[in-house]
């Protein structure tokens, strides 16, 4: 056997078919590739072009298409959740489970040392074991969310936690955490984790089995931000939790469209509020109205992106849901757009000073390194805990106030949060948030630290082999 230092690793990357999952897998693949690791990347055919544009292509990197089998309720040609309704995304999990023979055949030919798999492919560890391959569960979520939601201590036997249970941290949860409870509406949203769709395993079962049966877990995290939660998960699941580092994205390539660059360019540095909830999170009509008026009340320039489910006409919905007379009142200082935008380039623009978002973990990291103050409005599941981590533990953002029972927020809640981090910056909480934001930005942009995590991860993988 080759000496450990001389061992040339070959790994397969197999993310869930959502770009919020694919992107961190690509980022990790690129870090490993720079350390001499051979990469084989699995995804559905329709995602290949976008992966190819981001993956570090070398003679030892390949992208392997996995055709999705025909399943009732899933239109052929839909290869990522960005094009699907929530119900269709559940059917996609059923299709994914049917891909096991196809995946096994390819893995038996490739014979990699490791396969990095996502939350949905809970069957990978057993399949990989049959082939003599080690399975690594790579999580794109924050460790705090896994610690809170899916720690084994949450369930005993077949008992499913109820809403009251889910409002409280699990037994043994780190005592120095800022989280003592979550709101009722948030806990109710979490019950999705235990719901079976069409007889398939719930998300909780997929995530729990994957973590229980894998060789080791790999997390998109650094000890500086999530140390206590990493230790808690390692104890709970009784296995190594290996750190990939925060996987800070590289500076965006390309040029911002002229229409956006020209509009943003009219405003002073760090004065514009950018608000976007991504392509798969949708606000209801009342939320849109309160959000829009809240932005108006700040008096600041803003760029609001609103998206709607695929089956609706986005432009018609935008016209219907915005408050009457709103566009006329904010003319010249407010833009409302529906559809895709060059988010990375917008966040990096000098005039953008605040990012109001749903607390997706990759997005808040991106905002921190771009010097955009964070106003957090989490909408579902892991986002609730991401917001607690950033606003509570790290004190580097402001979580927008919401009602306990139904999660209602009003225009004044929106305005207050933005003014706290953009206007009232000489008094707390704005002053402390800005100071901490600067500290975390410096840490996240420390390339030496980032490289250290990549080197250590490869060394740990070689030791496992």
Judge whether 45 and 134 are in contact, CB under 8 Å: no
Query: Which residues make Cβ contacts (< 8 Å) with residue 153, sequence separation at least 6?
Result: 170, 171, 172, 236
Residue 128: count other Cβ atoms within 10 Å of its Cβ.
24
Residue that has been written with the tokens 């953008």 in this structure? 352
- Burial track 30-62 (b if 16+ CB lie within 10 A, e otherwise): bbbbeeebbbbbbbbebbbeebeebbebeeebe
- Look at residues 56, 98, 90 and name the one whose alpha carbon lies nearest to residue 74: 90
HSE-CB at 396 with a 13 A cutoff on CA atoms is: 23
Before 207, cis peptide (omega within 30)? no
Q: What is the dihedral of CA 357, 386, 438, 219, to 10 degrees?
A: -120
* Strands of the sheet with 241-243, listed across from one edge: 61-65, 38-43, 10-14, 114-117, 134-139, 216-219, 241-243
Judge whether 46 and 79 are in contact, CB under 8 Å: yes
Beta partners for 335?
A: 303
Report how far apart, in Å, the C-alpha atoms of 338 and of each of 272, 314, 341 are. 18, 7, 9
Q: Which two tokens stand for residue 59?
A: 């003679």
If 0-12 CB within 10 Å is exposed, 13-18 middle and 19+ buried, where does residue 138 land?
buried
Judge whether 144 and 223 are in contact, CB under 8 Å: no
Q: What is the dihedral of CA 47, 111, 130, 199, to 10 degrees?
A: 0
Catalytic positions: 21, 118
Q: Which two tokens stand for residue 209?
A: 């089995």
Distance CA 18, CA 79 (A): 9
């Amino acid at each position: 056997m080759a000496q450990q230092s001389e061992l040339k690793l070959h790994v397969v990357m197999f993310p869930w078919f959502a770009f919020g999952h694919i992107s961190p897998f690509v980022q990790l693949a690129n870090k490993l590739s720079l350390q001499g690791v051979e990469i084989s990347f699995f995804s559905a055919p329709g995602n290949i072009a976008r992966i190819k544009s981001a993956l570090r292509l070398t003679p030892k990197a390949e992208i392997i298409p996995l055709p999705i089998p025909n399943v009732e309720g899933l239109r052929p040609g839909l290869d990522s959740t960005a094009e699907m309704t929530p119900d269709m995304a559940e059917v996609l999990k059923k299709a994914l489970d049917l891909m096991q023979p196809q995946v096994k055949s390819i893995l038996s030919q490739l014979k990699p040392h490791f396969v990095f798999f996502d939350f949905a492919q809970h069957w990978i560890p057993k399949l990989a074991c049959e082939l003599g391959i080690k399975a690594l569960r790579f999580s794109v979520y924050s460790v705090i969310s896994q610690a809170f939601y899916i720690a084994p201590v949450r369930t005993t036997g077949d008992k499913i936690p109820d809403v009251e249970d889910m409002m409280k941290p699990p037994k043994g949860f780190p005592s120095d955490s800022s989280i003592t409870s979550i709101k009722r509406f948030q806990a109710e949203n979490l019950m999705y984790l235990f719901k079976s769709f069409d007889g398939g395993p719930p998300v909780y079962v997929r995530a729990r089995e994957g973590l229980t049966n894998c060789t080791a877990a790999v997390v998109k995290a650094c000890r500086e931000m999530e140390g206590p939660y990493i230790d808690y998960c390692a104890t709970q699941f009784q296995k190594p939790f290996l750190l990939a580092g925060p996987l800070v994205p590289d500076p965006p390539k390309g040029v911002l469209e002229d229409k956006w660059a020209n509009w943003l360019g009219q405003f002073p540095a760090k004065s514009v509020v950018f608000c976007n909830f991504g392509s798969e999170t949708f606000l209801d009509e009342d939320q849109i109205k309160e959000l829009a008026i809240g932005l108006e009340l700040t008096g600041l320039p803003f760029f609001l992106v609103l998206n709607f489910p695929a089956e609706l006409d986005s432009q018609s919905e935008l016209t219907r849901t915005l408050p009457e007379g709103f566009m006329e009142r904010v003319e010249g200082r407010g833009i409302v757009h529906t559809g895709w935008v060059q988010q990375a380039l917008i966040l990096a623009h000098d005039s953008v000073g605040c990012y109001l978002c749903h607390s997706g973990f990759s997005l808040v990291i991106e905002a921190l390194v771009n010097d955009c103050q964070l106003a957090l409005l989490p909408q579902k599941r892991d986002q609730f805990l991401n917001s607690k981590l950033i606003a509570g533990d790290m004190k580097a953002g402001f979580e927008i106030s919401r009602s306990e029972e139904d999660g209602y927020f009003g225009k004044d809640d929106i305005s207050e949060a933005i003014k706290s981090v953009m206007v009232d910056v000489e008094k707390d909480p704005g002053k402390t948030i800005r100071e901490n934001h600067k500290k975390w930005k410096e840490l996240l942009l420390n390339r030496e630290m980032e490289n250290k995590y990549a080197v250590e991860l490869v060394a740990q993988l070689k030791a496992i082999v």
